[in-house]
Amino acid sequence: MSIILGALTTFMEGLAVASLALQGLKSLAAPLLELGKELGLIEPETDVEDLGDKAIQSDLKPDDFDCYEEYLKAVEDYKLDPEKSKLSTEEKKIQKGIELTVGVMIDKYQDFSMDKFINMIDHNQNFFTEAKMGEIAKVIKMDGQSITDILHYVDGTEKNSTKIQGTVDTLLEIEKNTNPGLSDKEAFKNVMELRQ
């Protein structure tokens, strides 16, 4: 659990340094929460602000559980006190909700650089939208290695042309499935612009 908490701390410190305004937090939270839901790690009806509020109010700690997923489930089951909810800002609640969302995904996919994948989503929000998370989750569920493959395609570290082509094909399929009116040329351009 300490490796997960270390990666999570690094991500949250980066988020704090970025000093995202409320709208920026919401735009980051939406695709991350959706990905967590689509991967089956977060309850479908969960709202990021309520999740964060429950975590703040509950005083539950990840170290008190065998895995982060158990911690998340305990937080999701916590009953909010409306009076205590008034004591935390919307920003703090959303930040804490993002922390739990990211934490459970890092825990589940720790063998596949999920922490870096989440940072990549943050830096490429024009492509990795909330609407695409269902398609991305399908790919991840079929093969967790796809997390690393997409990450290495985007960051430019993948040099194997066969792997690059496979990742491009996957991203094109995601792009076309979520934007059916897009021409093949436009979809290809969007996927190529991801590569740094």
Q: What single string gives the DSSP state of each residue in 29-84? A: HHHHHHHHHHTTSS-TT--HHHHHHHHHHH---GGGSSSHHHHHHHHHHPPP-HHH
User: Tokens in use for 57?
Assistant: 């109010």
- Residue 196 belongs to what H/E stretch? none
Q: Is the pTM of this model over 0.95?
A: no
pLDDT tens per residue across all 196 residues of the chain: 555 555 556 555 554 544 556 677 888 899 999 999 999 999 999 999 999 999 999 989 999 999 999 999 999 999 999 999 999 999 999 999 999 999 999 999 988 888 889 889 988 989 999 999 999 999 999 999 999 999 999 999 999 999 999 999 999 999 999 999 999 999 999 999 998 6
Q: How far is it, in rounded angstroms, from Cα 8 to Cα 2?
A: 10
The pLDDT assigned to 110 comes to 86
